[in-house]
Amino acid sequence: MKSPLRERTFQLAVEVVRLCEVLKTERKEYVLSRQILRSGTNPGAMVREAQNAESEKDFIHKLKVAQKEVGETQYWLDILLETGYIDQVSYDCIFGLTSEIMKMIRSAVLTLKQKEERKK
């Protein structure tokens, strides 16, 4: 079964890797590119880890970690835009993807928490 969240976080990772290559080769920027590379590729890894979670609580925890990493990626995108390392088009493309992922994760966590509450 295909997972839209898994697909979107993978797409984010690919876009961030491509962005980092441009930042390093064309802009000669190495510090911020490492930061966004780490935070932008981690959500996909966490979503995959969540699929193998030991419990529902563990699953929710891994999704929350992914959510935090997406938020951090948005922060680095804001910095890169404000400092002129990326243009508005690049920013909008990746930021739009992070916003979509954030909504998906929030929805999944909320649904799972409501499910847990009903069990009690």
Give the CB-side neighbour count of residue 6, counting CA atoms within 13 A: 8
pLDDT on residue 1: 65
pLDDT on residue 113: 86
pLDDT 10s digits, 51-103 = 999 999 999 999 999 999 999 999 999 999 999 999 999 999 999 999 999 99
Please identify which residue in the block is written with the tokens 């064309």.
26
pLDDT on residue 115: 84
Cα 102 from Cα 17, distance rounded (Å): 19
- Which pLDDT band holds residue 119 (cuts at 50, 70, 90)? confident
Burial 16-46 (b: 16+ CB within 10 A, else e): beebbeebeeeeebeebbebbbebbbbbbbb
pLDDT 10s digits, 93-116 = 999 999 999 999 999 999 988 888
Residue-range domains of the chain with CATH: 4-119 (1.20.1440.60)
pLDDT on residue 16: 98
